[in-house]
Structure 1
């Protein structure tokens, strides 16, 4: 296996390509060429990043490079240091599922900072929906409707002025709607409209996109909506998103899901971004509990990237783009980082979370949390 991590590129690659998807690809391809030249082709390739857009773009470029070079090696997919909870699952689904839907990927790993057995159900569901399903990517558009706002038309329950906005209701004047029974887009006069191919999502800057999944369970909705929206926003831009699931899900949950998907896709940040390794034998503190403690205190810091890493072997490189770092440095000891600089070294694990909060305050990035139960 030739594996490259976005946070651990060599200085030579960084000088030549920067910390880019192209740098990830070239870092792998130079070793592919060496192995092939020496007659060794029993390879699998893996390009991982904690940022979903970079992970997706790198693997797309990798396929292009392999085709151009006459190579045909299997690709292993994963979003590295995805973290824990719903956000981590959505990040993994966005990255892995989108590539599987494009026909890219042979093996997968969902990486969670939790008990490793929790990774398997998510991976199985992804493979169930998108593994070797060449029609999957063409199905996404069947649930997408683009609304062009008419004079005097109002939106309901907008989550704020940042774009894309997330909407939980739209007036009946909208031009188009998706009819589940007919499986097509229809106008107000019930005339059928042609469904555009996936490469041309019907989305413009002044349009609200409605995607409807009537009757899907919560788990199915999370996977289908995450992949569809990630593919859509990666190709086009829109003024807003309106996710609908009939009467199955409450509107608050749909808004929360929409915001988390948009954040995973790198389009709108509504809460802090957490980068955390899944733990290994080098970890010298309970990273599962500490990550949850850090999240409970800092999740409201919109747009801030916070890394919780288990050890000093991979931690410094793989949390390179984080604003703040919380890294195990010995048994029961933690070192805190501001960007890539260690600021507080080898402090006691029991004091580390409060010390991190004080460091964030000192850096001018702390805000008082609002009393809300979802990330609006």
Structure 2
């Protein structure tokens, strides 16, 4: 039976110690800082355009820059780009991104500091065919791959060029798919096949990655990779972290942080690339916001060690809890909006948390991001809330309330143990890990009305809250738990990244029955409008985290690549256009890929796909199946909507 070990500690922050790989004088791994990188979007044949973009990226914080080289001509032009950069005083290491073309990789390896190859399409041609392989035919394929791959390894050794073996979830070869399926294990084995060849040839300047647009799959694959390296006695190679096709704006930042952040929390990762459908110079600051959190993480308040992980870190399974009202059990995770910092008169404006009052029909309306509960602290709402929205009050205020049915209490541990009157159906209890002692746990196990609101003050808060979940699991206490985090004043990017890391890291492992972003540490002196905006931002972030962790789908998901020199249309403009027409299709996943390299493979998780297949030409997919080829781009969005209609997933957008 495979051990569950994948990091140094589940309780104490400790970065995984890896082999050092020197990339053009900027070493990665070991005790070196976690590096930040990105990828150009300009056509590689546009030398000056590429150079200017690289300079903008470096000035924004990129320590490595990747450039696509889909054929020999682009690989050759990397030399011109490099010469011009050096002439201007920029020594940033360059990485050639290779798919399908070993001859381009072999040329690029003589020019740039690192090459990236994708095992799924470097020596394989993915035909999306399920072929049965015998052991003999499978091994024959491995021999063929060795023959194709060995020349590149020898060139890299000769020129001192580093290599990233980068597996992508959506582009696993037919051979891997036939044996392992579309799984994290298949991703790991795909990379290990190439890594074993490198080891046989005594080449070790290697970085590994396991990228996916599905955050659960991505996290499981990286963990499993580290586990397998240890199991096979292979060297601890550095890890490149990234969520493939994360998207744009708030969604892209949250999704990236959910996938990347949980790995960084456990000390995994030596370089980070955030893939946003935005200009590449906007990616580095987001990545830097992620990695800078760990500069001073060592020395946090001690957390009780974890002797054995009670959950499987390599597969998703939601923690079993009993149902309390509409929390826990089979219910989707809930969102609690903290409105306790508002003045009582401001409560009527709940549109920021998805509830709209319409005066003329005298009715409430809720959108897809409508909070499930509001926490009002000691100031009860003085009007009837919309149907289905429950109010949580501090226990003392609840005791004084005339409506003890529709309003529910939030108790401290002392109030809970004092044994006073409680709500007949649901009682929220705020506590931290240290409160889960021999006195409280037995009482909670017997109480079918309790819901924990789990807080933390620890700088290593995700690990402390995870430890609390483990304690509940080991005690066989199936009480529902809301994950609560509170932050001081942050920028929007910081809030989205910190909260997505801290909460998403738990949800990824099936831990948590809801989320709550508290406002108690937000700065004083905000106007009514500023506080309403803050609460609305917190609410949207909560729903975004649940969606990114794949635990509650409340809006359309766009799996859009960040663009590169291979892209065959204006990706940002097209994504915005598709979003405008389809953003009301709750739970539908649409892949928007700039070229055949990133689609359909990288949108393996999408329900529908829009993929560039030539200048001005689009191929449209339903799942992995091509529905229409060569559609003129001016008609492609309409045709895509037609396919969604035929698939039964289209609904008309309601007028605001």
* TM-score normalised by L of structure 1: 0.84
* CA shift in 2, pair 1:115/1:214, >3 Å: closer
TM superposition shift of 1:252: 2.4
Q: Give how far 1:41 is off.
A: 1.0
Residue 33 of structure 1 aligns with which residue? 196
**Equivalent in 478, 485, 494 of residue 220 of structure 1:** 494
Q: How is 1:290-329 mapped onto 2 (pairs within 5 angstroms)?
A: 290-329=574-613
Contact 1:201 / 1:232 at 8 angstroms: preserved in 2? Answer: no
1:57-136 matched pairs, under 5 angstroms: 57-70=220-233, 71-130=235-294, 133-134=297-298
| 1:350 paired residue among 634, 639, 645 | 634
* 1:174 equivalent in structure 2: 410
In structure 1, the residue matched to 2:6 is none
Alignment of 1:354-365 (within 5 A): 354-365=638-649
Alignment of 1:201-280 (within 5 A): 201-202=468-469, 206-217=479-490, 218-246=492-520, 250-280=534-564
2:261–2:505 Cα contact (<8 Å) kept: no
Matched, 1:193 2:193: no
* Native 8 Å contact 1:101 1:137 kept in 2: no
**1:101·1:134 contact (CA, 8 Å) conserved in 2?**
no
Contact 1:243 1:254 in 2 (8 A): yes
Match 2:206 to one of 43, 49, 54: 43
Alpha-carbon distance, 1:295 to partner: 1.2
Q: CA 1:254–1:199 in structure 2 vs 1: closer, same or farther (change >3 Å)?
A: closer
Shift of 1:73: 0.6
Matches of 1:351 and 1:215, distance apart in 2? 48
Match of 1:8 in 2: 171
Residue 288 of structure 1 corresponds to: 572
* Partner Cα separation in structure 2 for residue 299 and residue 206 of structure 1: 35
Q: Secondary structure at the match of 1:308?
A: strand
- Mark the CA change 1:215 to 1:197 in structure 2 (over 3 Å): closer, same or farther: closer
Q: In the superposition, relative to structure 1, how do residues 136 and 68 fare at CA in structure 2: closer, same or farther (>3 Å)?
A: farther
Distance 1:39 1:304 in 2: 47
Q: Could you tell me how far 1:219 is from its partner in structure 2?
A: 3.0
The 3-state SS of whatever aligns with 2:516 is: strand
Change (3 A) 1:131 1:66: farther
Change in CA separation of 1:221 and 1:138 when aligned onto 2, cut-off 3 Å: farther
* 8 Å CA contact 1:213, 1:221 repeated in 2: no
The answer to which of 315-324 and 200-209 deviates more is 200-209
Q: CA deviation at 1:210?
A: 4.5
Structure 1 residues 292, 256: closer, same or farther in 2, change over 3 A? same
Q: Is the 2:483–2:512 Cα contact (8 Å) retained in structure 1?
A: no
Contact 1:101–1:131, Cα closer than 8 Å, also in 2:
no
Question: Which residues of structure 1 form unaligned runs of 5+?
Answer: 140-147, 178-186
How many correspondences in the alignment?
348
2:258 and 2:300 map into 1 onto residues whose CA distance is: 14
Cα RMSD between the aligned structures? 3.0
Q: Distance in 2 between matches of 1:7 and 1:136?
A: 38
TM-score by length of 2: 0.49
Query: Within 2, Cα distance between the matches of 1:137 and 1:2?
Result: 37
Distance in 2 separating the partners of 1:370 and 1:340 = 30
SS in 1 for 2:216: helix
Against the structure 1 CA distance between its residues 244 and 199, is the aligned structure 2 distance closer, same or farther, given a 3 Å change threshold? Answer: closer
Structure 1 equivalent of residue 625 of structure 2? 341
| Maintained 8 Å contact 1:334/1:347 | yes
- For each residue in 1:109-151, what CA deviation from the matched residue of structure 2 results, as whole angstroms up to 9, or x when unmatched? 0011111111011001011013684567989xxxxxxxx99x9
* 2:360 corresponds to: none
Instruction: Tell me what 1:163 maps to.
Output: 332
CA contact (8 A) 2:241 2:273 kept: yes
Per-residue deviation, 1:314: 3.3
Tell me, in whole angstroms, the C-alpha distance in 2 between the residues paired with 1:341 and 1:137.
52
